[in-house]
Amino acid sequence: MAFRFRIDLCFAFVSILVLAECYLHLYRNVRDSGEDLLQRRLSLRARWDEMCRPHYAVREELVRPSRHVSSLRDSITPTTESVLFPDWEVLIIVSPEGEVSSESGEDYQCVFHNNATSPARPAWVFPFTKRRTFKCVIPRRIRRFRPYFQPALTRAAPAKQREIHSFTRELFRWTFLAYESLSTQNDVVLFVKGVNNRQGVNRSPSQLRCVFGNDATIAVRTAVTTSSQEVFRCRHPDLRALSHGEIENERIKISLEISDENRVVPSVAYYTPMRTVATLEPKSQLCASTMIYNAAKFLKEWVVYHSRIGVEKFILYDNGSDDELQTIVEELNQDGFNVKTVLWPWPKTQEAGFSHSAIYAKDTCKWMMYVDVDEFVFSPTWLNSSTPSTKMLFSLLPNKPTSNVGQILIRCNEFGPSNQHSHPVHGVTQGYTCRRRAEQRHKSVVLLEAVDSSLVNAVHHFGLKEGFNGKRLSLSQGVVNHYKYQAWSEFKAKFRRRVSAYVVDWTDEANPTSKDRAPGLGFLPIEPKGWASKFCEMNDERLKMVTQRWFAIPWTSENKMAWEK
């Protein structure tokens, strides 16, 4: 008994000392500050919370607030909405009515819940909803605290002049979010992360409903007809059941409800009713679409080459580029090429982006070629052609109107660094000429009307409607030159993030033997010994010779190519 009393007495004495030290430390900080009385009290409270409350490890599972709190938050349409992306990056989406400018000279900052700040830089404007976006990074010193609250977007100001903000809304987690929607004449296509997490394993549409409206408790719900990967299709809502303000301002939130879990996925997506827009542009017979990130330096070569052999229009899904992409696109359009960009900043959503393009381009493109900007379609039958022809790619497609071929599959040859130590001056077709012997994977050209209504795809090909089949070309008919393993200065950029939803990132120590990894590379962006000579099993200069014949500018002493003008 006496021993227990001594332990209790010792614990009480130590607790008093710790509390006294905390208060003395805080008193000195506040005394030395030039803040007014109100700011002193707020600062004291914030610092006490930071020093003395428990620290929680970061976890990725969803924080589920009470039903009452969720309803209260869902009933408010804030001026800004914020999403936590990978690498502690926060995307702030500003409502059209928000008083925010991105003009030069305007400096903004993100203010977080303990008054920590980080610079906010202007990002993009969503074309369909006209919402402006900013990006900032969560300060390192508050990353260990949970929950994460949505920051306030303010003009940069000294600490003494900052407004006092209340933080009640948690950051949307990118791992569980409705992020985009697209309306067709008959239904709505909704893109949602975190519902179907495993490739090939999808929730039944009967377990899901689309939710239209800013208040989930009184929103309009419609049945989901298909559920595949991150793509969900549902019926249009009866707009008469929504508030007039939402309809007039076109601020109709759309999300997905998981019925058996009785919860609605957080959303930054908005419903736009289908409109019939007359277009003077004729329907293109062959288009090309890809997802692109900071690859402006490769774009001209890719566009010039493929346009000369038959591609009429290029649709680029911009995955948040911050290089000169838009400048290059404008230059290409001024030179007579048809290149369009679609803002698609969502991480690891390549399959969803391709699904979006299959609907988005269906009325303006008949066939769609899905190849990346480091991939070039080539046929050995073109070797003796003195000039390129816009009929060349069409020779690979079915030529009978009654054909049931809905997709052409073209195998890939993977090229290595070919002893290059930087981006080849005259382009990838000229600099990379050594490849692996065996072909790897394939890419596709798809008849858009043949794509299955689920829009399911595996990046390399789409699922087709019943009655349509795919046709695989032989290597003598056609091949894709994939300049995959480039000079290390270019290749290491791939470590940022993989674009596929179902392929692990290079830095993730999982599936080390997967074909999606570079053999022997490891998990860190450290140049392996002898990288410049790797993946070189045979020389293949066929496309180099053909493109020199077709595109070399004869009056230049530097052997410049047409895309270098």
Q: Which is more confidently placed, 42 or 150?
A: 150
Pairing state between β 231-234 and 284-292: unpaired
Confidence of residue 187 (pLDDT cuts 50, 70, 90): very high
Q: Encode pLDDT of 36-89 as tens digits.
A: 433 443 343 334 343 333 333 333 333 333 333 333 233 333 488 999 998 899
Q: Amino acid identity of 27? A: Y
Contact indicator for 82, 91 with CB cutoff of 8 Å: yes
Checking if the pLDDT of 101 tops 80, the result is no
Q: Which domains, from first to last, does the chain contain? A: 80-158+167-173 (2.60.40), 177-241+249-271 (2.60.40), 284-551 (3.90.550)
- Three-state secondary structure string covering 45-95: HHHHHHHHCCCCCCCCCCCCCCHHHHHHHHCCCCCEEEEECHHHEEEEEEC
Measured distance CA(113)–CA(153) in Å, rounded: 12
Q: Averaged over 170-193, what is the pLDDT?
A: 95
Measured distance CA(565)–CA(321) in Å, rounded: 23
Top mean pLDDT of 5-19, 33-47, 212-226, 331-345 is at 331-345
Q: Averaged over 239-248, what is the pLDDT?
A: 66
Question: What pLDDT is recorded for position 192?
Answer: 98
Confidence of residue 280 (pLDDT cuts 50, 70, 90): low
The 10 Å CB-count burial string (b at 16+, else e) for 221-257 is: bbebbbbbbbbbbbebbeeeebeeebeeeebbbbbbb
Q: Averaged over 500-514, what is the pLDDT?
A: 59
CA-closest candidate to residue 491, choices 538, 534, 547: 534
Identify the weakest region by mean pLDDT among 94-98, 152-156, 318-322, 466-470.
94-98
Place of tokens 């000392």: 17
Q: Which of helix, strand or coil describes residue 122?
A: strand
Q: Which is more confidently placed, 108 or 21?
A: 108
CA-closest candidate to residue 122, choices 106, 139, 137, 102: 102
CA-closest candidate to residue 372, choices 321, 332, 412: 412
Question: What pLDDT is recorded for position 494?
Answer: 73
| Mean model confidence pLDDT for the chain | 82
Q: What percent of the chain has pLDDT over 70?
A: 74
Q: What percent of the chain has pLDDT over 90?
A: 59
Pairing state between β 220-228 and 469-472: unpaired
Global pTM value: 0.81
Confidence of residue 249 (pLDDT cuts 50, 70, 90): low
User: What distance lies between CA 290 and its chain's CA centroid?
Assistant: 12
Checking if the pLDDT of 11 tops 60, the result is no
Measured distance CA(318)–CA(293) in Å, rounded: 6
Confidence of residue 105 (pLDDT cuts 50, 70, 90): very low
